[in-house]
Amino acid sequence: MGLLFWEDEVDHKLQALEAQFKELDFTKDNLTQKFEHHSKTLANQAAQDELWTAVLSFKFTPMELNILYSYVIEVLIRLHTRVLEKLPDLMRGLPTLASILRRKVKNKRIRVVWESVLEEHGMQEGDITALCTFFVAHGNKAEHYIAKVRQMYIKDVNFMITNMVKNQALQDGLLKAVQVIEKGKAVRASEEQKSSLEELIPSAKS
């Protein structure tokens, strides 16, 4: 009887210890998750601070800054336009790119379309963060140059960016903006050439 009581007591204590260990494990996991989240938040904040420092410490001439701004504003407009093409019923509710960035957080439909548009253009959220930071910092004083004017001033804008922009996130975003706009120009030129040839072919036959 005494032995049985002792075994029950030991079993009870073991169960109690097991429950305590489970609770400690849960607390540890919870603290680990909070720490990881806090670390990510701090890392993101540090990256954002570095980005702002890079954007505000540009050594570009006003003309070079205008050329970069032109690519940035054109690609941001293109992304906004593309989202509206996919969500025509939400056009009035998404008047700006900022409204898309704001509403996609809680609206899954907008978020899915936004992500698909970024994928179409080979871009990532980090690129948009960099470009929007650039726009906020310089948009009030920069001017837009059309493509022909840009080419007159700078022959190789990619070299200018890689040579002068040392912040990797900003460099990647600007290079991506140039790539998207130049690729769009090449596609349009090809389509215009094809259209011209199609117009010429019937007249040649006649």
Instruction: Going residue by residue through the chain, which has 206 residues, state the pLDDT in tens, using 9 for 90 and above.
Output: 555 555 666 566 667 667 666 665 665 565 556 555 555 555 678 888 899 999 988 889 999 999 999 999 999 999 999 999 999 999 999 999 999 999 999 999 999 999 999 999 999 999 999 999 999 999 998 999 999 999 898 889 999 999 999 999 999 999 999 999 998 775 554 555 555 545 555 544 44
Last residue of a domain, one of 32, 57, 82: 57
In a domain, residue 199? The reply is: no
With beta carbons less than 8 A apart as the criterion, state whether 120 and 82 touch.
yes
Domain span at residue 45 reads 1-57
CA distance between the termini of the chain: 115
Are residues 16 and 68 located together in one domain of the fold? no
Say if CB 100 and CB 80 are below 8 A apart.
Answer: yes
- Do 44 and 139 reside in the same domain of the chain? no
- 66 shares its domain with 160: yes
- pLDDT score, position 178: 96
Do 165 and 181 fall within a single domain? yes
Q: Are residues 15 and 91 in the same domain?
A: no
Question: In this structure, are 53 and 66 located in the same domain?
Answer: no
Conformation bin of residue 154: beta by default, left when phi > 0, alpha when psi is -120 to 50? beta
Q: How many domains does the chain have?
A: 2
Closest CA to 120 of 72, 166, 70, 85: 85
89 and 157 part of one domain: yes
Same domain flag for 45 and 124: no
Provide the 10 A C-beta neighbour count for residue 149: 15
Cα(60)–Cα(154) distance, rounded to whole angstroms? 12
Residue 187 has a pLDDT of: 58
Cα–Cα dist 7/14, whole Å: 10
Residues 7 and 102 in one domain: no
39 and 110 together in one domain: no
Residue 1 covered by a domain: yes
The answer to pTM > 0.85 is no
24 and 124, same domain (yes or no): no
Tokens of 183: 């690729």
Same domain, 85 and 174: yes
Residue 180, judged by CB atoms within 10 A of its CB (0-12, 13-18, 19+), counts as: buried
What local confidence, expressed as pLDDT, does residue 198 receive?
Answer: 56
